[in-house]
A = this chain, B = another copy of it.
Amino acid sequence: MGPGPFAILGPLARFVTLPRDHLLIDEDAPAAAVWIVRRGVLRVQRYGADGRRQIMGLFLPGEVTEKLSTDRAGSCVETATAVELCRLDRRAFAEVLAREPGLRRALTQQRLARLGRMRWMIWALGALRPDERICAFLALATRFLPVQPLPDGTLALSVSLPRPDIADLLGTSAETYSRVTHRLQDAEVIEILDPEHFRIRSLDALIRKGCAEQAFWTLPFPDLGGAGMAFDTVVQPV
């Protein structure tokens, strides 16, 4: 994250690392703690009436977990990747919040950002087909997941979310995600370095296919303070 508005929480914070698929905030518990994401991704999920899991949104690095009032009951927050978090007592957080107008402002900003993304998801779910949603997701991912410019000018994108999570986020299946990415590779739009890493050969094509012109430029995402950090071990040797 670098020194952002949350740096002031330093003395109060307790740092934690957790593996993925770890339950953070339960369905209906009022959540005794507040978590700040430093690294990795959290997912907000619930199970639909048909037993199918829906991922309703993500918490990205720099963001603070919060139950929005728009989240219907029955949703919980889990880690979607290995994460590095910062735990704050709910009460302590509320106190700092009351003292620091800058923090309150930043938090409001975040809420707005999450609502914006949620609105886009709802639209995309209704208006786009699965393959288009996947294209849009990859395009937008360059704005909120770690990227690294490659020597040839193209972009390396690190999608560390597991397949089933991406599928449930986009309302499709892991198989379809796999098929579509490989089809995109055949069309020379992307290149699959390994299951989690793609070289984006034509961001434009992704944006076009995903009808994401608008969204790409206007959707609010947290700053990628430590952009590229996920590449330390993986893409460097390329």
Residue of B nearest to A126 (CB): B126
Question: What is the CA–CA distance of A126 and B54 in the complex, to the nearest angstrom?
Answer: 14
Chain B residues contacting A126 (CB-CB under 8 Å) are: 122, 125-126
**Smallest CB–CB gap between A207 and chain B, Å?**
15
Q: How large is the interface on A (under 10, 10 to 19, 20 to 34, 35 or more residues)?
A: under 10
Q: How many Å from the CB of A33 to the closest CB on chain B?
A: 33
List residues of chain B with CB within 8 A of the CB of A122: 126
Within 8 A of B (CB), among A119-134: 122, 125-126
Nearest chain B residue, comparing its CB with the CB of A48: B127
CA distance A125 to B126 in the complex (A): 7
Shortest distance from the beta carbon of A199 to any chain B beta carbon, whole Å: 30
Distance in angstroms between the alpha carbons of A122 and B122 in the assembled complex: 10
A122 and B125 alpha carbons, distance in the complex (Å): 11
A126 to B125: give the CA distance in the assembly, Å: 7
**Chain A positions 125-162 with a Cβ under 8 Å from a chain B Cβ:** 125-126
A22 to B170, CA, bound (A): 41
**8 A Cβ contacts from A51-71 to B:** none
Which residue of chain B lies nearest to A49 when distances are taken between CB atoms in the complex? B211
Instruction: Report Cα–Cα, A125/B124, bound state, in Å.
Output: 12
Closest-CB distance, A172 to chain B (whole angstroms)? 14
> Once bound together, how far apart are the Cα atoms of A185 and B38, in whole Å?
58
Report Cα–Cα, A122/B119, bound state, in Å: 12
Q: Nearest residue in B to A124 (C-beta to C-beta)?
A: B126
- The docked-state distance in angstroms from the alpha carbon of A125 to that of B123 is 11
Q: How far is the CA of A8 from the CA of B126 in the complex (A)?
A: 43
Kindly report which residue of chain B lies nearest to residue A171, judged by CB atoms: B126
Write out the residue numbers on chain B whose beta carbons fall within 8 Å of the beta carbon of A125: 126
Q: Considering only CB atoms, which chain B residue lies closest to A211 in the complex?
A: B49
Alpha-carbon gap, A23 to B125, bound state (A): 32
How close is A210's CB to chain B, nearest CB, in angstroms?
14
CA distance A125 to B125 in the complex (A): 10
Q: Top 3 A-B pairs ranked by shortest CB distance?
A: A126-B126, A125-B126, A122-B126
Q: What are 3 A-B interface contacts by the 8 Å CB criterion?
A: A122-B126, A125-B126, A126-B126
Q: Residues on A close to B: CB < 8 A?
A: 122, 125-126
